[in-house]
Structures are given as structure tokens and as C-alpha cells.
Structure 1
């Protein structure tokens, strides 16, 4: 809405395209490499969620809730992306493409390009893990935990997501607003979903005794 997307993209792009679009470090390491790492972490999240509870670990119900919300966050981003008519900056006419930029909130209005570029899918590989901080930052009623692990997870997720978004902006794949929308979608799904899960989390569960001890 502010026009900053175009201003920032014009710094790294030219009428001939984006010079760093196929830069080895950005494309192979920070794009494909980060995506592969995120996939491994997602598999590890499922294993962690279903692993038998042990003394001092999070209750299984909370781990399952985190896993479900992370999955829903990624699903929400991909569903919106696959139905979006918004094309990537490297497809815009001002950067050598064929698309006429159309504001992404004008849903259903085609821009003449291939579309399917809103919001930022790469950033969701990090922002999709926002739910992982909630057991510490917003524990179920009656549970007391130190908040520091949650802040560490949140800081790591935010840093990785912003890095992933910045990489795609420099390459011409997404304007910065797409990254911020990805953050908003993942955070919204995680927080609303966690709120809905709270009643189930506070009910008695077989592994309730496995929760982390209350801080003094």
C-alpha cells in the first residue's frame, strides 16, 4: 500500500531482471538448502510430537498441538499461494517480465503473469514453526514455566524467516510485503489454534504428569 515494495525491488532489480536471481549462495544454499533443513526439522517435529512422554518433557498433548498448528500454518500459506493470481517480481514488466503489478489484496484480479506467488512460501519454512514457542510463552492454565526457551525459539524462528524472505527479495522472487504476510498468516494460525486447543490441553491426560516442573 505504501509503494515500498517497488522502491526496494528497484534497488536490486533492473529492466533486464535480477542479477542475483541465480547466485549460487542465494539459490543453492540459502534457498534450496534452507528448505531442505526445514523439511528435516518438520519431520523431527512429528517424531518429537509422537515420542513417548518422559519426566521433565512437555506433555504429549502440547507437542501434538504444536505439530498440528505448524502443519496448518504451512497448509494455509500453500493454499493461499496456489490460488493467488499475484505473480513474482521477476515476472513483472519493469524487471523484464510480462506481468503488470497488481496489489495482492485485489483478490481474483489477474496481472497477466503466471501467478501463484503470494504469500512467500520460502519464509513459511521458518515462520511455520512459530507454534513451537507457545508452550512456554502461553502455557495452559495452571502450568508455570520459564519463558526464556520460548523467547529463544521465537527469536530463532523470526531470524530464519526474515533471512529467508530477504533472500527471496534480493533474488526477485518476492517483495518484502509477501514475507510479512507470511509471518502474519503463520502467527495468526498458531495463536488462534493454540487458543482453541487450550481446553483440550488443560483437561486431564494420561501424560499430564510429564509436564515440565513449575519454576520456583
Structure 2
């Protein structure tokens, strides 16, 4: 049975109000300004000093931060990726999303999960536990001083572990026009989990707070850019349903 016309708004919410791309761009721009101010504040070192001293970081090998939140968090990220695969393809796919939307949901997540480790490999920034004041040999150098070695092993910026959660903010862009409440719940869950991962790594001396914040900004910006590049600035529920084949529409028999 076709979806009744009355069930859909005459105009897309995103077209009647501020276009989605403007809101997403404003969030990215505000986040960038906040991050630059954070980097200029010097609070990264102040925060890690709460957890480390000349003997290192007491939480580095702790069962909670190292065992549960780091190693366990890695496997939770793997399970989330499996859930994403099942949600995009196969008999358990999310039928309320058009195939193109599901493909973009998966692709955005995969790009974020691949991009953050690549940026880490190119970074000369060392982890806090490598600094001389925490028992290592490196000295603090801002991650903005490209190509300047700090005497440590480098390859620590941005946070790869946090990306195991924050890459899944792609769900917000996939679901916000179809199931707004579900999209908000997914986004909130991802942000909370990413913050927990980031805090655990900071307590261990593995990352500064800014490393997690930059990971969140990169994931948001990548997901928003891919979404608008694929669908345009005013894609919404009506357009999604028009493009979806009958078997993938919400009213289709299950």
C-alpha cells in the first residue's frame, strides 16, 4: 500500500527552516574556533598533570582504563561496526533508510575510521607519557608545529581510540530526517562513549584532551561533508522515500 500523502509534510522541514548545510557548517565552524582557543589555552598539559607525575601515570595499566575501557572499548567498536554492517545490508537492514542512505552511512563511518589512523601516522606529536616530566624523553611541542620533532616517538595525534566511538556519529546524518528521536539518542550515545574513551586515554597518559576533541571535529566534518555532497543541502524524508524502492519503504510488508 503506498504511503499516504497526508503523512508527509508539504515542504521538507529543512527547506522551510534553515537549510541543513548551514547548520552543519555553523557547528563545524564553531567547533573549529573552540578547538583553536583550547589549543591556545595550554589546558592540555594542565589536565594531564592531574593524572601524571615524574613516575608516570598511575592509570596507565589499571584494569579499568587499560583493560575495560581501552582493550574492551576496542572490541566494543568492532561490535558496533558489525552492527552497522547488519543495519546496512542483509535481512536485518534498516528498511526505513533508502539503499543510498545506508551505503553513505557505512561509507562515512569507514572513512572516519580509516582517516584518523592515517593522520596519526603522519603526526610528529608524542603522547603525554613520552614527556620528560612524566618519565619519558620528549618535550612538549604543539601539534600545530608541523614537522617539528619533540624527541619522542610521535604518531599520537589525533585520538584513534576515541574514533572507535566518534566515527559512528554518521548515524545522526543517516537518521535525523527519518527518525529524529532515534538520531538524537544515537548521537548522544556516541558522544558520551567517545568522551569516556578519551578520558580514559588521558588518564593513562596516552592522549591529551585536544586529541579527542579534534577527533570529534574531524568525524563531524567528514560525515557532514559526505552527506551534503551525496544528497545536496536539502535532502529529507520525502526525497528519501521517493528514491527508495518499494521493498525498502517504511510501509512495506515485513
Contact 2:87–2:94, Cα closer than 8 Å, also in 1: no
Q: Which position in structure 1 is the counterpart of 2:191?
A: 158
Contact 1:92–1:99 (CA<8 Å) still a contact in 2? yes
CA distance in 2, matches of 1:74, 1:47: 18
- CA distance in 2 between counterparts of 1:171 and 1:53 reads 38
Q: 2:92, 2:245 → 1: CA distance?
A: 6
**Does the 8 A contact of 2:98 with 2:244 survive in 1?**
no
Counterpart check, 1:133 vs 2:166: no
Aligned pairs (5 A) from 1:111-150? 111-137=150-176, 139=177, 145-150=178-183
**TM-score normalised by structure 2 residue count:** 0.76
Task: Work out whether residues 87 and 93 of structure 2, in 8 Å CA contact, stay in contact via their aligned partners in 1.
Answer: no
Contact 1:59–1:208, Cα closer than 8 Å, also in 2: no
Cα pair distance change 1:207/1:54, threshold 3 Å: farther
Whole-angstrom CA distance in 1 between matches of 2:44 and 2:244: 51
Aligned to 2:57: 18
CA RMSD for the aligned pairs?
2.0
Deviation at 1:208, TM superposition (A): 5.9
| Secondary structure in 1 matching 2:49 | helix
2:81 corresponds, among 22, 42, 45, to 42
Structure ID, larger Rg: 2
Residue 137 (structure 2) aligns with: 98
TM-score relative to the length of structure 1: 0.88
SS in 2 for 1:109: coil
- 1:148 is displaced (CA, Å) by 0.6
Deviation of residue 207 (structure 1)? 2.5
Is 1:182 aligned with 2:182?
no
Measured in 2, the distance between the counterparts of 1:113 and 1:2 equals 23
Shift of 1:192: 0.6
Task: List gaps (5 residues or longer) in structure 1.
Answer: 140-144
Instruction: Give the secondary-structure state (helix, strand or coil) at the position aligned to 1:11.
Output: coil
Deviations 1:75-104 (A, max 9, x none): 111110111110000001111101111101
Q: Distance in 2 between matches of 1:208 and 1:114?
A: 54
Query: Any unmatched runs of 5+ in structure 2?
Result: 1-39
CA shift, 1:205, in A, is: 4.4
Partner residue in 2 for 1:167: 200
Whole-angstrom CA distance in 2 between matches of 1:60 and 1:53: 13
Mapped contact 1:52–1:60 kept (Cα < 8 A): no
How many pairs are equivalent?
206
Q: Give the CA deviation at 1:206.
A: 5.7
Pairwise CA distance, 1:50: 2.0
| Distance of aligned partners of 1:54 and 1:96 in 2 relative to their CA distance in 1, 3 Å threshold | closer
Helix, strand or coil at the partner of 1:117: coil
